[in-house]
Amino acid sequence: MNQKVKNTVTLLICVILLTALDQATKYLAVLHLSPEKGGSDLILWKGVFRLQYLENRGAAFGIFQGQKAILAITTVIVFLFLCWLFFHLPLEQRFSPLRWLIIFLLAGAVGNFIDRMRLGYVVDFFYFELIHFPIFNVADIYVTCSVILLVLLFLFYYKEEDFNRIWPGKRKEEA
């Protein structure tokens, strides 16, 4: 099996499994935490962390409330860009961390996209009440951690010559 095929299979399997994990946790949150199903908050560490059901009709931190079309279009554009980037990365080991972060970003995007299209909102349920952090879900964890790690990689691991190899158009402009 050549490397491109192996990367594609890895991408598909991982995105499907990570999305399934996200959807399973959201299903459990609806089943056990939703007031409509007779559920209530589950305090895991009093005053610090709880599971609390929330229907988020916006994006991160509640922005774009009720803007389902904008969020759907943005998600599709980001999804397509990430797929393009994944398949245009050099096949070297040096770019493996970037490939894995793209997989997690894709899974997070797909997980929340499924909720938005199916329910009209995203199911959130993790709440750090100690710092009053916005309620979030597993897909949000994928996206947030991946973005933080991407920033760190771009600041401390990848160099200018790596960027030139990621963005083929940039090489043509400089020539």
Task: Return the active site residues.
Answer: 124, 140
Q: How many Cα atoms are found within 13 Å in the side-chain-facing hemisphere of 71?
A: 23
Instruction: Read off the DSSP letter of residue 167.
Output: -
**Residue 43, CA distances (Å) to 14, 48, 107 in order:** 31, 9, 28
Q: Cα–Cα distance between 131 and 72 in angstroms, integer?
A: 30
Q: Tell me which residue has tokens 């895991």.
A: 44
Strands (DSSP E) contained in 34-146 are: 42-45, 49-56, 122-128
Return the DSSP state at 136: B
> CB-side exposure of 58: number of CA atoms within 13 Å?
8
